Amino acid sequence: GDAIWGDRTLLAQEQGRGVQATSYLSIRNLISDIAATAYNSAIRNTYETNNDVTWFNFKQEIVTLLDQMVSSGVLQTYKIGRTTTPPAGVNLSERNSMFCVITLYPNFPVENFVLTTNLENAEITVSDSEN
């Protein structure tokens, strides 16, 4: 089915931290969709040779989803890259593991509209012009 990435803010603000990317429902839904797509792609590519072809096959579906998110306006852009070092706290052999970093640059929804109305006196002058 089609995903709808809405723009309502639902997450309670943490003490003194203010608005964060995860404060927006659209961003949280977006991250969940990306995580599910990445997981499914990883399952499909498990036990394939650890080379550039497998990396391309792994990221292809993820990039397709990210491009849809950019064209829908919820993301400004993204980066997806392969790294050789595991994230902190992960104890895996580099030889038989593939590490991927996805960086998102979201377009945040509008939370406030600030409206200003000005009323000014203006001098109107009449000038002659020759055309």
Helix ranges (DSSP H) in the chain? 25-45, 52-72
pTM of the predicted protein model: 0.68
Radius of gyration, alpha carbons of the chain? 24
* pLDDT tens per residue across span 21-50: 666 667 777 888 999 999 999 999 999 998
The answer to whether 9 and 24 are in contact (CB under 8 A) is yes
d(CA 85, CA 93): 10
The answer to whether 66 and 34 are in contact (CB under 8 A) is yes
* pLDDT tens per residue across span 55-92: 999 999 999 999 998 998 888 999 999 988 877 877 77
